[in-house]
Structure 1
Amino acid sequence: MNTTPLTGTTTRTPVTRTPITQPTIDQADLARLIDSGVKYAMGGWVDVHGRSKAKVVPIELLPKLLDGSERYTPRGITGFGVMEPQEDESVAIPDPSTLRVLPWDRRFVWMAADLLREGEEPFDQCTRSILKEQLRLARERGFEFKLGVEIELFVFRPDAVQGPYLRPVAPSGSLRPSPAYDTEATLDAADFLDELVSAMQESGFGVYSFDQEGGDGQYEFDFGYDGALEMADKVTFFRVMVRQIAKRHGLAATFMPKPYTEAWGSGHHYNMSLESTTTGENLMKDADDPRGLGWSRLSYAFSAGIMRHADALAAIVTPTVNSYKRLNPRLADGTASWAPVWSAYGVQNRSCMLRLPQNRPAIENRVVDASANTYLAAAFLLAAGLDGIRNDLDPGEPVDIALLDDTDSARSNSVRLPRNLLEATEAFAGSELARSVFPERFVREYTAMKLEEWESFHSSVTEWERDRYLFSL
């Protein structure tokens, strides 16, 4: 990707491995958990797809779990890499600061865990450790990375999938042209939504709002921003929570970005900001902005770094074949989707990859979708933004026109994002920045996994192809 307004070079920094101090838990806290009826504990390490993986121990063994009693052979179990028979096992070290009693099943507590090799060296597929390392590097430069995530997902009735469609939970969900913000469509799903939002509140999410989104059976949840690691832990817990609570209501929840052709896409818009490690001051705004927009030079450089690396970032923030069915400026009926396809930034411009909203001091990345692993996406985006700051990159002037596929890129000061997973994966494989964020074997095996995913999809003959070519050729 060649973004002409952006100047400077990437400084390649070797991936380092930070030892992790083993945590403990107070005996009085353990006794209170037991007295409250908790029976089991799990420390969930997070795989490359963002799913929590864990063994379960009786609650009395929680201190041993925190000391690393549970071992795993994680490579290959999610299609990522191949486990060699002679490899050492990995040890999960839970973080007790993330301990949450499951609101829907109080017999269990869950914690986010780091996955280590023997000793205290992070396993090269530990997505949480990858983010922690980038946060450490940011703090060395005086920055705390804060993140807010707007979560969108589809909820449907799994026993009533109708051909290429999902049957939404809300009977009012077939409103046209869109059920977005419809009061009755939200109330139709009130039993499920009430239990989920109550669980979010009990778990410390600080819910701002929730609503019926633009797709049938699609919902959005907005809640308080946090440190990037804490937010990634919350999103991981949310994924477990929403699926489990949906099942209690005879429903299913999916983070597939675009579950059927006519659907709206599910994004996870990232609202990113930097704060000073010494003063806690938000560094994104500046009343003396020469552009007159109220943003700081640091914000522009951070944005430019993300724009510069947008093609390689795509392999992590839009990581599936299906992701690129969402990244289309128009829906199937021809109406605007607001899904960005250009590595541009704009003020309030929802067709850009990066938006500078007027109501909060954070840069909104609208490309990230619901299938992304939050730890990996946050780590790579932070590294790209810091690369922009380090090289004092400039993103050019903001875009104030709707960016569609036929937009003149020279006129819009932007570059077209990858059109499919193959383009994104090839950019990731060739990225020096990726090799400064992820271990070498991670880059190699992630690339292989994504190429296999693309080739498997590309070798499948679809109904669209038969409809178009069977009798016309």
Structure 2
Amino acid sequence: MDTVHDINPDHAELARDLAGRGVKYAVAAWIDVLGRPKSKTVPIDHLPNMLAGSERYTPRGMGGIGHMNPIEEEVAGIPDPATLRVLPWDRRIAWMVADMSLSGREPYALCPRSILRKQVDAAADMGYVAQLGVEPEFYVFKPESLGPGAGRLIPMTLSEEIKPSPAYDVEASLDSLPFLDRVCSYLEEMDFGLFSFDAEGGEGQYEFDFAHGPVIESADRITLFRLAVRQAAKECGLLATFMPKPYPEMWGSGAHFNMSLEDESGQNMFRSEEGNNGWSKEAYQFVAGVMHHAPALTALANPTTNSYRRLVERLADGEISWAPTKISYGYNNRSCMIRLPANRPAIENRAVDSSANTYLTAAYMLAAGLDGIRQGMDPGQARDDLSYAAEADRLPRSLIDAVEAFQRDPLTAEVFHEHFISDYAEMKIGEWERANLEVTDRERSTYLLNL
């Protein structure tokens, strides 16, 4: 197959080196709109061709967006050699992340990584380097509880007797260590900079925290993290899910985004000894921009109908959900959408859930924050009360509300190609409509005999 670029002789040497280490295959994954990696697999001696852009795809309709079009131009996957690493759970495979390109001429409109890169470049034009850290949460279940008629999914480790919550419970973590240790080993070998892990508030729910980095690098890392978690679960005979809210009484799974800006010398631009409460003018303007565009951002940060089961004030049992519902900010207020934490120089967006595509969500959040700086926006007063009862604008209550806000916001057209906007909106509106067509058992028990 023809290549997009000339083959680099150094890549032949790289292929020989990897083969000498037992690597047999290479993948260069482009990321679909659902956040899943997609790639052809090539023999390792074909690695130089793959790096030159030899592998082509017809991604529409196969990446969670758009309609299949057999006559559409093929898209080339252009690997990023800086992302190459050998997968620790299968050392036969060399992993890379790829950008999607129309024959090497221009970025593909539906490529999440290219969309994020555009906003990274916009930040650079303003003298900033965008940084991101993500706190992913997920559930792990026993797969034998799956299937028709199987009933409720069984968490990996039952901790219902730990009241009021198994969050941070050492025994719950130790009981889950065969799985958690496997994940940790993979992350350490891939140089994730693991900080900590713990049992979270739901039965069978866990969170991992690791080093932040440049925003594209962090998005690449989350893609690989999700793959590693699923792989470790399968190896332990388990099922890992990043579904935001598997059951109504369970805690939702968030993926809090901790975003900051640095100057070109690496100096953080959000902290300031002379600023308000230690935060700079740019930090408050960035917060204001994210809040201003929050309804539109929600369509990406909370991209499923299930996402809105999480963005509620209380769980089904009446306990506080810890998820935000109002467009507000505070310094150590975990009921707000935005928190300005004391222990790190980054703003924390607590609305993002675990189903979000990291590239798309980061692109819009970064664009919103930069817009706040350009416009000199003011976020108003920080909240120090429980924000659920605050007189503040509410985050969208449903996927359809979020998508309509996404379509209305002028910033959307600056961040995304018109084809992405139309295809994404069509896909998500269809998802909402299909869910809204269902008549549930709860509706029948409430209305059938009473109306």
Q: Does 1:280 align with 2:258?
A: no
Measured in 2, the distance between the counterparts of 1:214 and 1:119 equals 46
Q: Share of identical aligned residues, percent?
A: 53
What do the CA deviations read for 1:58-105 (whole angstroms, capped 9, x no partner)?
011100011111111100124411132321111101111101211111
Contact 1:22/1:93 (CA < 8 Å) preserved in 2? no
| 2:43 alignment counterpart | 58
Match of 2:14 among 18, 21, 29: 29
Match of 1:265 among 246, 252, 259: 252
Measured in 1, the distance between the counterparts of 2:93 and 2:248 equals 38
| 2:58 alignment counterpart | 73
Contact 1:287/1:294 (CA < 8 Å) preserved in 2? yes
Q: Does 1:376 align with 2:363?
A: no
Measured in 1, the distance between the counterparts of 2:431 and 2:57 equals 25
Match of 2:33 among 31, 48, 60: 48
Q: Does 1:82 align with 2:29?
A: no
| Runs of 4+ residues deviating >6 angstroms | 20-23
Q: Does 1:440 align with 2:418?
A: yes
Measured in 2, the distance between the counterparts of 1:81 and 1:182 equals 44
| 2:376 alignment counterpart | 392
What do the CA deviations read for 1:111-143 (whole angstroms, capped 9, x no partner)?
110011123211111000000111011101100
Q: Does 1:250 align with 2:237?
A: yes
Match of 2:177 among 163, 177, 190: 190
What do the CA deviations read for 1:140-167 (whole angstroms, capped 9, x no partner)?
1100000000010001111124866321
Match of 1:366 among 333, 350, 370: 350
Point out where structure 1 has 5 or more consecutive residues left out of the alignment: 1-19
What do the CA deviations read for 1:302-341 (whole angstroms, capped 9, x no partner)?
0000000000000011111000000011111111111001
Q: CA deviation at 1:173?
A: 5.4
Deviates more, 1:178-187 or 1:463-472: 463-472
| 2:76 alignment counterpart | 91
DSSP 3-state at the match of 1:151: strand
| 1:12 alignment counterpart | none
Contact 1:114/1:126 (CA < 8 Å) preserved in 2? yes
Measured in 2, the distance between the counterparts of 1:263 and 1:96 equals 41
DSSP 3-state at the match of 1:170: coil
Q: Does 1:235 align with 2:213?
A: no
Match of 1:431 among 405, 409, 415: 409
- With over 3 angstroms needed to count, the CA separation of the structure-2 counterparts of 1:402 and 1:153, relative to structure 1, is same
Q: Does 1:331 align with 2:315?
A: yes
| 1:421 alignment counterpart | 399
Match of 1:166 among 150, 153, 165: 153
Match of 1:120 among 102, 105, 125: 105
> In proportion to residue count, which structure has more strand?
2
Measured in 1, the distance between the counterparts of 2:293 and 2:361 equals 13
Measured in 2, the distance between the counterparts of 1:23 and 1:272 equals 37
Measured in 2, the distance between the counterparts of 1:22 and 1:435 equals 35
Contact 1:22/1:66 (CA < 8 Å) preserved in 2? no
Deviates more, 1:92-101 or 1:176-185: 176-185
Contact 2:34/2:64 (CA < 8 Å) preserved in 1? no
Measured in 2, the distance between the counterparts of 1:84 and 1:180 equals 47
| 1:4 alignment counterpart | none
Contact 2:254/2:351 (CA < 8 Å) preserved in 1? yes
DSSP 3-state at the match of 2:30: strand
Contact 2:245/2:251 (CA < 8 Å) preserved in 1? yes
Measured in 1, the distance between the counterparts of 2:273 and 2:425 equals 43
Q: Does 1:176 align with 2:163?
A: yes
Match of 1:340 among 324, 336, 353: 324
Write the letter of the residue equivalent to 1:367: A
Write the letter of the residue equivalent to 1:284: F
What do the CA deviations read for 1:384-441 (whole angstroms, capped 9, x no partner)?
000000000000110111022xx241xxxx3111000010000011121011000001
Q: CA deviation at 1:56?
A: 0.2
- With over 3 angstroms needed to count, the CA separation of the structure-2 counterparts of 1:319 and 1:149, relative to structure 1, is same
Measured in 2, the distance between the counterparts of 1:421 and 1:171 equals 32
Q: Which fold has the larger relative contact order, with Cα–Cα distance below 8 Å and residues 6 or more apart in sequence?
A: 1
Write the letter of the residue equivalent to 1:303: V
Measured in 1, the distance between the counterparts of 2:153 and 2:297 equals 30
Write the letter of the residue equivalent to 2:229: V
Q: CA deviation at 1:183?
A: 1.2
| 1:212 alignment counterpart | 199
| 2:93 alignment counterpart | 108
Write the letter of the residue equivalent to 1:429: Q
DSSP 3-state at the match of 1:97: strand
Measured in 1, the distance between the counterparts of 2:187 and 2:143 equals 23
Deviates more, 1:155-164 or 1:241-250: 155-164
> How many residues are matched?
445
Q: CA deviation at 1:470?
A: 2.2
Contact 2:12/2:47 (CA < 8 Å) preserved in 1? no
Contact 1:23/1:96 (CA < 8 Å) preserved in 2? no
Contact 2:271/2:280 (CA < 8 Å) preserved in 1? yes
- With over 3 angstroms needed to count, the CA separation of the structure-2 counterparts of 1:323 and 1:286, relative to structure 1, is same
Contact 2:5/2:53 (CA < 8 Å) preserved in 1? no
Measured in 1, the distance between the counterparts of 2:390 and 2:107 equals 46
Write the letter of the residue equivalent to 1:435: A
Contact 1:174/1:216 (CA < 8 Å) preserved in 2? no
Measured in 1, the distance between the counterparts of 2:152 and 2:257 equals 28
Measured in 2, the distance between the counterparts of 1:174 and 1:94 equals 48
| 1:15 alignment counterpart | none
Contact 1:173/1:185 (CA < 8 Å) preserved in 2? no
DSSP 3-state at the match of 2:271: coil
Contact 2:5/2:52 (CA < 8 Å) preserved in 1? no
